[in-house]
Amino acid sequence: MKLPLPPLPTALQPKPKRPSEEEQVKPVEQVKEAGISAVDWIDERTSLSGAARWVMFRKIPKGTNWFYTLGSATMFAFLSQAVTGVVLAMYYDPSVTNAYESTRHITNDVFLGEFVRGMHKWGSTVMVVLICLHMARTFFFGAYKYPRELNWVIGVVLLILTFVMSFTGYLLPFDQRSYWATIVGVNINGTGPLAGPFLSDFLRGGAEFGATTLSRFYAIHMLVVPGAIAALIGAHLYLVARLGTTAPPWLKAESHEGIREERV
């Protein structure tokens, strides 16, 4: 779109080119051209632009509002947890004798350590709150109904996996609170009939809280569950793009001209 020029004095107005002057390609245009051809090169070989268009240029119903952002808010909370978790792992030592000391080192000594650890710690609570709000939004808007039941099921699995992350991550600072909370949590797992005792032994890596319990929780916390969450978020988003979003329940469907005539 071309904006009208401000009323400049004639001396300051840009002068049109003289016909003798050669058309100069501006550097900005060159860069733009290079970018476009690079994207074209990839698209010619992957046809990704079709998929990107399919994901991004969707029709959304009238009445879509801020409540519909809770899902992506949860996803960004997860991404924040993933990034801060990866960098925390660069300083953390998941051994029974050093875990507490390395956590203390992160908090007190490392540059931005307290901040990044705080982001991860408080971010976990934020993620749980957001996923619950997102679930409540889905429930109260009736967005779990046909054909979106499978997406609800995937969402419930994601909720459970988020709780597993909270449970396994709680042990890692390895202070008194996390130690006893984990003892209690594992024993709650053990109350399941028949399978419970074996489940709690599996979680502890033996009959007692021992040398491998912490590394076991660490492996579950940073390898098993995040991978599963990332994969399921992919499936969740695919279904959102495939099925579209719902209109809020307070909007009545607009009746068609023809139908209205018939009713009269």
CB of 253 to other proteins, least distance (A): 40
Phi then psi for 39, rounded to 5 degrees?
Answer: -65, -40
206 is an interface residue for other proteins by CB under 8 A: yes
Nearer of residues 208 and 254 to other proteins, judged by Cβ: 208
221 is an interface residue for other proteins by CB under 8 A: no
227 is an interface residue for other proteins by CB under 8 A: no
Task: Rule CB under 8 A: choose which of 9, 27, 193, 258 binds other proteins.
Answer: 193
Nearer of residues 70 and 203 to other proteins, judged by Cβ: 203
5 is an interface residue for other proteins by CB under 8 A: no
Q: Which of 43, 14, 54, 76 is nearest to 244 (CA)?
A: 54
191 is an interface residue for other proteins by CB under 8 A: yes
- Structure tokens that stand for 241 in this block: 């793009």
Residues 94-113 close enough to bind other proteins by CB under 8 A = 96-97
204 is an interface residue for other proteins by CB under 8 A: yes
CB of 90 to other proteins, least distance (A): 24
Nearer of residues 88 and 203 to other proteins, judged by Cβ: 203
Q: Which of 133, 141, 163 is nearest to 225 (CA)?
A: 163
- How far is residue 65's CA from residue 217's CA, in Å, rounded to a whole number? 39
Per-position DSSP letters for 26-79, written without gaps between them: PHHHHHHHHHHHHHHHHHHHH-HHHHHHHHHS----TT--GGGGHHHHHHHHHH
- Structure tokens that stand for 88 in this block: 């925390």
Q: By rule CB under 8 A, what count of residues binds other proteins?
A: 28
- How far is residue 197's CA from residue 189's CA, in Å, rounded to a whole number? 8
CB of 168 to other proteins, least distance (A): 14
Q: How many other CB atoms are found less than 10 A from the CB of residue 23?
A: 5
Stretch near other proteins under the rule CB under 8 A, chosen from 102-110, 156-164, 197-205, 245-253: 197-205
- How far is residue 193's CA from residue 124's CA, in Å, rounded to a whole number? 30
Q: How many other CB atoms are found less than 10 A from the CB of residue 218?
A: 20
Rounded to a whole number of angstroms, the CA Rg of the chain reads: 28
Nearer of residues 144 and 209 to other proteins, judged by Cβ: 209
Binding residues vs other proteins (CB under 8 A): 96-97, 179-180, 183-184, 186-188, 190-191, 193-194, 196-198, 200-202, 204-212
